Amino acid sequence: MKRLLPRLVLGALAIAMPAAAAAPRDPPQYKFFDKDDPTIKDNFTLLEWDRRALITDATWAVADTSCSFLFGNTGRLPTIKELLTILDEDPHEKFEFGKIVFKMIDQDAFDGAQGTPVDLPYWTSTPAPDGKLWTLDFSTGAMVPKLATEKGNARCVR
């Protein structure tokens, strides 16, 4: 009996120890940033996103040209794959312009004072069928093909 008790205690500890151990945490997606930082760096894609120069209500050509002037003339429109990396799959509600809107973008990283309007989808550089370009709607998470002459918003990257 004296030998059985220590074995039971050791067995219980062997079972309990893995449960008490902390699982490794995923690294944060973005490098540490201040809410006033003009850019944010993605640790996974290594892309640097502009947080301030939001282009709104623009055709694809205007958005593309506007992005090219950012980051010391090295800015560009993201691809659809790149833009999807900042899509937040857990939408949050925000009260804007007298109504509640749902946003599917990281509210800490991209929803500061200027915010991220979700009235129009966001341009990408990725071609879509029928001469259109892919856009991403941050209110629904849907990829939407649009003609370059239609209006959209843009976030620039390098």
Token pair 């694809």 is found at 60
Residue 93 contacts by C-beta under 8 Å, 6 or more apart in sequence? 100, 101, 102, 103
Domain chopping of the chain, boundaries: 24-154
Exposed (0-12), middle (13-18) or buried (19+): which is 107, by Cβ within 10 Å? middle
The distance from CA 130 to its chain's CA centroid, rounded to whole angstroms, is 28
pLDDT at 106: 79
Give the integer Cα–Cα distance in Å for 67 and 71. Answer: 8
Report mean pLDDT in 10-residue bins for the chain, 158 residues: 62 54 50 66 88 88 96 95 92 84 82 74 98 96 98 95
- Residue 97 pLDDT: 76
Q: Given this model, what pLDDT does residue 114 score?
A: 59
